[in-house]
């Protein structure tokens, strides 16, 4: 397949003029991190991209798709979601919108609903949100357990998730469940022992909610270290609701990502800037909890790699829309449109330590979205408008 007549192609190819991400503030094209090609074409062979370049130089083929002078971007890489759950938390959201503040305690509501759901109900829910996300351009997603919190329920969540993605994260350490409230140490022992043994076969990653009211720095270190010994790579829910040790711990353990990053000291920013750990920002959570935005500009200016994801979950961020997160990041987190699109594609790939997604370069998976707009900038410029008009995943047209 050759897709031709693309007005703007986002490749994220660093060799096509990665300035610094900062230079995209004033330039497009050469200085953008997006590796833009104007009047472009993409060649797909099987599940891979085999060629990108100017339309006039595209190889001839029978199977031509005319993009009609619109933009093509890499499919979004949503590197942070919590999609194995049952029930909803409308009432809690309503209470917040009338002035209550968010607390991690709401997680227990979803835990109760999830435990009593059947496999088929969880599967149906998961499929529903994945379909929703795909229609909005997401072609790679990570998802977590964390609403089971028993050996069986955590393993079940991961088993279901693993049918849909390779990016599966064990989050037995989401909160201490009610039955262990009197003895958190016993729960940490379960998470690092029997539960880990049952979950590790289905997961690639291990995560901890390192936060007041969830797990402290020492507990988080013990959990992530135990996971690492079982071959799982760390990622951390860090510094969301308060300042704390999460980001420093993520860097210390070479975690792929520190997620949320709303409350950071200068030392935290500096540690991220001198590490491989990506800062994954989740503006849907600040939107839905009426919290302060993470300061993306501060991170970018310090040289931190930033990813942008949905955090889709029924409590703190019930959106599956990466375009919505891009619009928020540009409007409220002082990212440029180019930076936000990079962070939602190549940034997400970096947060999953992947180089075969999040870019449209020869050898990468043919995961791409055709926008009903002449450029990627419209994702922020036209907020709330469903601009994704076609999606290819692994070379197959899905939308
Ligand atoms: O990433 N921060 C912890 N976990 C989720 C919220 C989960 C919930 O409220 O159900 C998050 O925001
Ligand atoms: Fe989360």
Cβ-proximal residues to 181 (8 Å cutoff; 6+ apart), any chain: none
Residue 279 contacts residue 246 (beta carbons within 8 Å): no
pLDDT confidence band for 32 (50 / 70 / 90): confident
For the segment 71-87, the average pLDDT, to the nearest whole number, is: 98
Whether 23 has a pLDDT exceeding 50, the answer reads: no
Percent of the chain with pLDDT over 90: 93
**Residues within 5 A (CB) of ion ligand 2:** 311
Compute, in angstroms, the gap from residue 361 CA to the centroid of ligand 2.
30
Q: What pLDDT is recorded for position 152?
A: 98
For the segment 314-318, the average pLDDT, to the nearest whole number, is: 98
Give residue 357's region: left, alpha or beta (phi > 0; psi -120 to 50).
Answer: beta
Q: What pLDDT is recorded for position 277?
A: 98
Q: Which atom of ligand 1 is nearest to the CA of 80?
A: 1
Domains 2-75+358-397 and 77-351 share a fold: no
CATH for 77-351 (3.20.20.140, 3.30.70.380, 3.40.50.2300, 3.40.30.10): 3.20.20.140
The residue whose CA is least distant from atom 12 of ligand 1 is: 316
Residue-wise pLDDT for 102-151, tens only, equals 988 899 999 999 999 999 999 999 999 999 999 999 999 999 999 999 99
Q: Is 240 annotated as a binding residue?
A: yes
Q: What is the mean pLDDT of the chain?
A: 95
Length of the chain: 399
Q: 393 is written with which tokens? A: 């995943």
| Model pTM score | 0.96
Residue 220 contacts residue 252 (beta carbons within 8 Å): no
Whether 25 has a pLDDT exceeding 90, the answer reads: no
For the segment 69-92, the average pLDDT, to the nearest whole number, is: 98
pLDDT confidence band for 28 (50 / 70 / 90): very low
Q: Class of the 2-75+358-397 domain?
A: mainly beta
Ligand 1 contact via 106 beta carbon (within 6 Å): yes
Please, which contacts does 113-116 make with residues 24 or more away whose CB atoms are closer than 8 Å? 113/85, 113/86, 113/87, 113/147, 114/84, 114/85, 114/86, 114/87, 114/147, 114/148, 114/153, 114/157, 115/148, 115/150, 115/153, 116/86
CA distance 307 to 313: 18
For the segment 314-324, the average pLDDT, to the nearest whole number, is: 98
Compute, in angstroms, the gap from residue 372 CA to the centroid of ligand 2.
30
For the segment 227-241, the average pLDDT, to the nearest whole number, is: 98
For the segment 221-238, the average pLDDT, to the nearest whole number, is: 98
Compute, in angstroms, the gap from residue 28 CA to the centroid of ligand 2.
32
What are the structural domain ranges in the chain? 2-75+358-397, 77-351
Q: What pLDDT is recorded for position 61?
A: 87
For the segment 374-379, the average pLDDT, to the nearest whole number, is: 98
Residue-wise pLDDT for 10-21, tens only, equals 999 988 854 444
Q: Which of 13-17, 36-40, 188-192, 214-218 has the lowest mean pLDDT?
A: 13-17
Q: Which of 23-27, 44-48, 358-362 has the lowest mean pLDDT?
A: 23-27
Backbone angles phi, psi at 88, to 5 degrees: -145, 170
């Amino acid at each position: 397949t050759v897709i031709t007549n693309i007005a703007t192609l986002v490749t994220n190819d660093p060799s096509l003029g990665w300035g610094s991400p900062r230079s995209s503030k004033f330039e497009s094209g050469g200085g953008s991190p997006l590796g833009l090609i104007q009047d472009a074409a993409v060649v797909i062979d099987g599940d891979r991209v085999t060629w990108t370049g100017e339309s006039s130089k595209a190889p001839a083929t029978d199977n031509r798709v005319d993009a009609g002078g619109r933009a093509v971007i890499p499919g979004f890489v949503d590197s942070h979601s919590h999609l194995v759950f049952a029930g909803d938390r409308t009432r809690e959201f309503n209470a917040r919108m009338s002035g209550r503040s968010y607390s991690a305690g709401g997680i227990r509501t979803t835990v109760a609903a999830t435990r009593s759901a059947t496999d088929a109900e969880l599967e149906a829910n998961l499929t529903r949100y994945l379909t929703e996300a795909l229609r909005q351009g997401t072609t790679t997603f990570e998802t977590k357990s964390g609403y089971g919190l028993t050996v069986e329920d955590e393993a079940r969540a991961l088993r279901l998730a693993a049918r849909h993605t390779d990016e599966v994260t064990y989050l037995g350490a989401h909160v201490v469940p009610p039955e262990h409230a009197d003895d958190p140490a016993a729960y940490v022992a379960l998470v690092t022992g029997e539960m880990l043994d049952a979950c590790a076969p289905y997961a690639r990653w291990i995560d901890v909610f390192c936060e007041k009211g969830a797990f402290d720095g020492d507990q988080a270190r013990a959990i992530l270290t135990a996971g690492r010994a079982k071959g799982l790579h760390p990622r951390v829910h860090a510094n969301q609701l308060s300042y704390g040790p999460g980001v420093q711990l993520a860097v210390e353990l070479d975690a792929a990502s520190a997620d949320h990053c709303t409350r950071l000291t200068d030392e935290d920013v500096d540690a991220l800037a001198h590490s491989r750990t990506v800062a994954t920002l989740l503006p849907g959570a600040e939107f839905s909890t009426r919290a302060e935005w993470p300061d993306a500009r501060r991170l970018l200016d310090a040289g931190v790699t930033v990813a942008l994801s949905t955090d889709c979950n029924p409590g703190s961020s019930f959106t599956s829309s990466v375009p919505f997160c891009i619009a928020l990041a540009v409007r409220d987190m002082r990212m440029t449109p180019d930076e936000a699109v990079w962070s939602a594609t190549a940034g997400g790939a970096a947060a999953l330590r992947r180089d075969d997604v999040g870019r449209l370069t020869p050898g990468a998976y043919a995961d791409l979205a055709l926008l009903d707009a002449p450029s990627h900038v419209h994702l922020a410029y036209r907020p709330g408008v469903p601009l994704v008009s076609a999606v290819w995943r692994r070379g197959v047209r899905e939308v």
